Structure 1
């Protein structure tokens, strides 16, 4: 694993994509920063992080995805890798809020943003961005955000967690190739609000009740409606109300 440490950067994802476009980059190369000026989440949402307090990282993953319809498989592996590492620190009530927020109880402690590039020869290279709230205490105007320090009333070693997450990712990718069904099953069990009646809002701002039953192979959220039918939703088509 090659580790590139930066002080401040616009975006670790953009930095890693930039160097991988110009030169051959070793698989599992990691870029980390103390502060990120233009961090982003899903659908361009801004990711704010107090300088020096949290884990901000991007890791390059190649030789895993070979078909564009399989891209969500990497979300599954990365989400579970993060959850497994945090479980070793006894972080309580961990779950994955579809598509890739990391939760402890009802609080968001992390977010994942995966960006895929298809090369001229058809190979797919992925840059996996992870923001994980570690030692930040104050979350102004973010009532649903929390951190490991707040939850456990203790400080944590960011770099130790980084190395463990990358090691777990390196371990799980070959395991996925051997037993994808088992890893998908583990992912489904960790879904936030799985099999719990929950309120949602659709793209027309219509509220409805439903039950999350899982995620499709291409990453759509499966929700059982009140008439017992099951609908599948893309990211922009549904929002959980909780």
Structure 2
């Protein structure tokens, strides 16, 4: 087991409604630069756009990381932490579970983990901002590991369902934390492009014709994901024109 790059204060809870909500009490705690809140029973986890993250007790990973940037991060670059944690989870799963399997692991913009067109993980990032710079970051992670029962509308699955391997929740948890710290260290050393390039190369449905629903116009378009901008906007090409979207402006519909 690899040693963490920065020491963390780990808080393990038997049961909590949301690790992100619990983590907020430590936003202005200066005693520790890195904290992790972990529970095996999260009852009301929140995902993107305030959607509930449904999870069965002791079958999945649900935790939040609280840390203060060691490199000044302007509010316009908030998206980069999303890329850092998405890359970290993708690299961990690809290394641990995808070496001898045909299933590809993808990052669905902005921050879902996808295998076999099924969602197996999601991320919720909340920030404390002072003077247009990010003071403290809370990264909430939900990862389906052993769970087998999912409602059809969730379009979800789990690592156990897909890979049918023996899994160790403790070891997987440690690997993701280490990978996140390592990826964040890469960002501080090599910069934003290094992080963006990996993310874009593993972007779900990139360069494939897909259908998207545009909330603002209440219309569907056929287009192709090309890249993301340096502020995190998704770039879609449709009818030889480029369109830019933020995460609350568009919905993916897979063209089968």
What's the TM-score, normalizing by structure 1?
A: 0.94
Against the structure 1 CA distance between its residues 200 and 117, is the aligned structure 2 distance closer, same or farther, given a 3 Å change threshold?
A: same
Against the structure 1 CA distance between its residues 196 and 25, is the aligned structure 2 distance closer, same or farther, given a 3 Å change threshold?
A: farther
Give the equivalent residue in structure 2 for 1:86: 93
Give the equivalent residue in structure 2 for 1:13: 20
Give the equivalent residue in structure 2 for 1:126: 137
Q: Alignment RMSD, CA only?
A: 1.6
1:163 counterpart (174, 179, 182) = 174
Contact 1:3-1:30 at 8 Å conserved across structures: yes
Give the equivalent residue in structure 1 for 2:164: 153
2:108 counterpart (80, 97, 103) = 97
Secondary structure of 2:52's match? coil
Give the equivalent residue in structure 2 for 1:72: 79
Q: Between Structure 1 and Structure 2, how many residues are aligned?
A: 240
Contact 2:123-2:140 at 8 Å conserved across structures: yes
Once residues 227 and 133 of structure 2 are traced to their aligned partners in structure 1, the CA distance between those partners, rounded to angstroms, is 30
1:189 counterpart (178, 201, 208) = 201
Post-superposition offset of 1:150: 0.3
Residue ranges of structure 2 left out of the alignment (5+ in a row): 1-7
Once residues 193 and 4 of structure 1 are traced to their aligned partners in structure 2, the CA distance between those partners, rounded to angstroms, is 37
Q: For 1:1-242, what aligned pairs fall within 5 Å after superposition? A: 1-21=8-28, 23-63=29-69, 64-91=71-98, 92-119=103-130, 122-142=133-153, 144-179=155-190, 180-203=192-215, 204-226=217-239, 228-242=240-254
Post-superposition offset of 1:176: 1.1
Residue ranges of structure 1 left out of the alignment (5+ in a row): none
Against the structure 1 CA distance between its residues 146 and 211, is the aligned structure 2 distance closer, same or farther, given a 3 Å change threshold?
A: same
Post-superposition offset of 1:125: 0.8
Once residues 153 and 41 of structure 2 are traced to their aligned partners in structure 1, the CA distance between those partners, rounded to angstroms, is 18
Once residues 65 and 101 of structure 1 are traced to their aligned partners in structure 2, the CA distance between those partners, rounded to angstroms, is 26
Post-superposition offset of 1:210: 0.4
Contact 1:119-1:125 at 8 Å conserved across structures: no
